[in-house]
Homo-oligomer: A and B are copies of this chain.
């Protein structure tokens, strides 16, 4: 385990020392430098251009979404430990004074807050399903959706941030189109990452479902080949890291959000997601911390 720990720390040190990311007192939250952001925004432009002509429309969503929408996603049941529920203060002057007293004396103060009507966004695509409720046009719909996401899993590994960006291509429609969309974007996504000089592999995967029941869900997800990840190695002594992934949701979101196909069936859906911050980190890891020195063919992809 020494090698594992030391690689995580070595890469962390290299990126923090270079100033690309700025760490603070909480693991998994980082300030991003101008250079880091330049690469992230070039990657966003790249992903948007790649989708051009194939994905009909594009939306950016805020980092929070309605609690009622979160409740419909099934996330509470599958990943309760990763969620972020937003609470605020709804009391009067006296209760406020008590709250401030607690905080100023270093005691826990947040337990008395009221849950608000919003949650932190766990996956970009969750925000878009409510707007698709109803009957889809013939052939279904395809959308690009981007947002900041939050997952409560503090870690010193830079590749496991609590707050990170995701760009997803979402398809809703019939089952065969959904599978074809998934297959096509896994191929195109892998090719694009290879074109950026990354050594990647497409692998069957499962989500980190919570608890004892979660193990069954994870196994069944693998057996049905519902989740694939595009992984890259940051270190030969450690498992590779997913930098993009695709899930087939079958009729999960179609059923919950009331989305049906033109022929009247419950819509199936799939998404292909770019892990923006992980891809940026992979690029810095593989090509060095100075993007002006990256190989010309890699630069040509991102700065065309």
Contact = CB atoms under 8 A, between A and B. Distances in A.
Most chain B CB atoms below 10 A, which of A41, A60, A65: A60
Interface string A139-166: 0000000001010101000000111100
B81 A90 contact: yes
A176 interface: no
Interface in A216-258: none
Contact of A117 (B22, B93, B154): B154
A144 to B, nearest CB: 8
A212 B95 CA distance: 13
A37 interface: yes
Nearest to A111: B115
A53 interface: no
Contact of A26 (B30, B33, B118, B148): B118
Contact of A85 (B100, B110, B130, B131): B110
A37 B62 contact: no
A103 interface: yes
DSSP majority for the A interface?
mixed
Interface residues of A, number: 73
A175 interface: no
A304 interface: no
A61 to B, nearest CB: 5
Contacts of A30: 62
A46 B15 CA distance: 28
Interface stretch (A5-13, A69-77, A283-291): A69-77
A109 B76 contact: yes
B84 A86 contact: yes
Contacts of A188: none
A299 interface: no
B62 A148 contact: yes
Interface of A: 22, 24-26, 29-34, 36-37, 41, 57-69, 71, 76-77, 80-93, 96, 99-100, 103, 108-111, 113, 115-118, 120, 127-128, 130-131, 148, 150, 152, 154, 161-164, 210-213
10 contacts: A26-B67, A34-B58, A36-B60, A62-B148, A63-B148, A63-B163, A64-B84, A76-B103, A80-B91, A88-B152
Given A76-B100, A96-B211, 7 more contacts: A22-B59, A26-B66, A26-B118, A31-B61, A85-B87, A96-B210, A148-B148
